[in-house]
Amino acid sequence: MDGKWMTYTEAAVRLGVAPEAVREAHIATLKTDLERLTAELAGERAGRQGEVELLKGQLVTERERADRAVTDLTGERAARQADQEQLAAARAAADRATAELVELAKRLAAIAKTQTSAGTAEAEPEPPQRSKLGRATGIDRPGTAPRRSRARPWWRRLAD
């Protein structure tokens, strides 16, 4: 509302009508504006009511989806818990089997050690290895005298 503010009397003098007529005209204008605004508000409310109903439907859909997701997650959590329990049991079984294997390896090593020490005491000592020169001359055997070096040529003695 731009312009100059006036009283009903000042407006009546300017318009050349009775102040009561200006007042009644102003009241009629206000009633018209009120009816127009009330109708607009009712229309907006009706439009908003449709939006509200649409949003309520979407809310119900989203709640159902969230409930399904929670149910799925609960099932997955239970399955994961069962898998973890099964994995823990398998690890425990593997640990027990490893411990048994280590114990068996220790026992086998002890048995092998006792058999080796008993077998070494009973077995004859290995004869020393002879070199080609020793075989040719016969000097590497204890209690033997060297052969005559001229009995055979040197190349035949090396072949023995």
Predicted confidence (pLDDT) per residue in 28-62, tens digit: 999 999 999 999 999 888 888 888 889 999 999 99
Show Cβ contacts of residue 6 under 8 Å, excluding neighbours closer than 6 positions.
14
The pTM is what? 0.37
Distance CA 13, CA 129 (A): 150
64-86 confidence digits (pLDDT tens): 999 999 999 999 999 999 999 99
Distance CA 149, CA 13 (A): 167
Of 29, 1, 30, 7, nearest to 15 (Cα)? Answer: 7
The torsion defined by the Cα of 83, 88, 91 and 93, in degrees rounded to 10, comes to -100
Distance CA 90, CA 96 (A): 10
Contact 157, 136 (CB under 8 A): yes
